[in-house]
A = this chain, B = another copy of it.
Amino acid sequence: MATSFTVGTSPNLPLGPGFSRDVIRVGVIGYGYWGPNIVRNFQGHEKADVVAVCDKNPKSLARVRRAHPEVPVTSDQMEVLTSTQVDVVAVVTPVWTHFELAKLALENGKHVFVEKPFTCTTAQAEQLIELADRKNLKIMVDHTFLFTGAVKRIKQLVDDGTLGALYYYDSTRVNLGLFQHDCNVIWDLAPHDLSIMDHLIMAKPEAVVATGANHLNGHADVAFLTIYYPNNLIAHINVNWLSPVKVRTTLLGGEKKMLVWNDLEADEKLKVYDRGVQMMSGEAVYQQLVSYRTGDMWSPNIEQIEALKVEASYFIDCIRNNKRPFNDGEAGLRIVRMLEAADESLKQKGRVVQV
């Protein structure tokens, strides 16, 4: 059993007496694009310590040492997964490794923070949920967007009835690259919208239609999803790795008000429009009258805290107070179920797949 995480010339901080049991000890596996943010935010939390970072790439470990000289590093996942000094394992690796790493972590009695998407299959997700429940451990799936000021504000506007009954959710999430070699553009970009929709729309989706095309590496790089919900609520997601411009815009249409969320705006990310349409039946078929409402627009000020900081803090709180996070394994499973259905539909050029 490993008791230290030293690699090469990294400083060897002793674990143990130096760390109060009040503090949740986090081991991070994977220090690529997103890992540094995970380490920084858990390390910045006063009730958490990052006690190990693992990555197979020596250059990544060198980056850890530069940014966090006080944090031990290792290239051996098992050291983190089996250490008695670790309470939480954060799995920040490619999706196809999530299941194995999370399973090992849970089996070794660690809580698990996993990158989205949760797993490659619903079967894997169900197995992890069952395992965590049995061992009374927490799973949090990193649906970071749910902790942004923008989504929290939209959630309020939906929940307090400001928008009225929802008509549609329509998101465009396109940019040039980054091509993934192990998944298509849907698995890369759509989980953001799928998790936001899961959070905002308190209804079970009924069916998925996915279309798309691949041009470069055999995976779909342009794709379009339609998701049917009850009561004629329809959702649509446009994802594209081949767009010359970056777009992050979501339209949310409601009976009472409509909303545009442009996440690339520095200020005024959200605009709420007092606009709508009402039908008034006349006597004859051609007298069907339409009344349009065009009122003020309003851009609510939104909280500016880093989403991942809020999320890390929430996870620490859930562990310390034995609460189930809303972005738990079940939430992760719901997204994986949609992704599986989308893949099935995509393979058949857009066949409707019930979920």
Binding site for B on A (CB under 8 A): 69-70, 167-168, 170, 172, 174, 176-179, 181, 207, 209, 211-217, 222, 224, 226, 228, 232-234, 236, 238, 240-246, 251, 253, 258-260, 264, 266-268, 271, 273-279, 285-286, 288, 290, 292, 294-301, 348-352
Contacts and interface: CB of A to CB of B under 8 A. Distances in A.
A168 B69 contact: no
14 contacts: A168-B222, A170-B222, A170-B240, A176-B294, A179-B290, A213-B228, A213-B234, A244-B260, A244-B275, A245-B260, A267-B297, A296-B301, A298-B299, A348-B352
Contacts of A275: 176, 244
Given A222-B236, A243-B258, 12 more contacts: A167-B222, A174-B251, A178-B290, A179-B290, A214-B232, A217-B290, A222-B253, A224-B236, A242-B253, A245-B267, A296-B300, A297-B301
Contacts of A168: 213, 222, 240, 242
Contacts of A215: 167, 232
Which 9 residue pairs are nearest across A and B when measured between Cβ atoms? A244-B273, A244-B258, A209-B350, A211-B226, A213-B234, A297-B299, A179-B290, A181-B288, A244-B275
A296 B294 contact: no
Given A170-B240, A253-B222, A351-B352, A277 B176 contact: yes
A263 to B, nearest CB: 12
Chain A interface, >50% SS class: strand
A285 B216 contact: no
A216 B268 contact: no
Contacts of A349: 207, 209, 228, 352
Contacts of A70: 69
Nearest to A68: B69
Given A69-B69, A350-B352, A352-B351, A177 B292 contact: yes
A335 to B, nearest CB: 20
A232 B221 CA distance: 11
B179 A277 contact: yes
A350 B212 contact: no
Contacts of A300: 296
A234 to B, nearest CB: 4
Nearest to A353: B350
A277 B221 CA distance: 11
Contact of A242 (B174, B212, B244, B258): B258
A211 B213 contact: no
A338 to B, nearest CB: 15
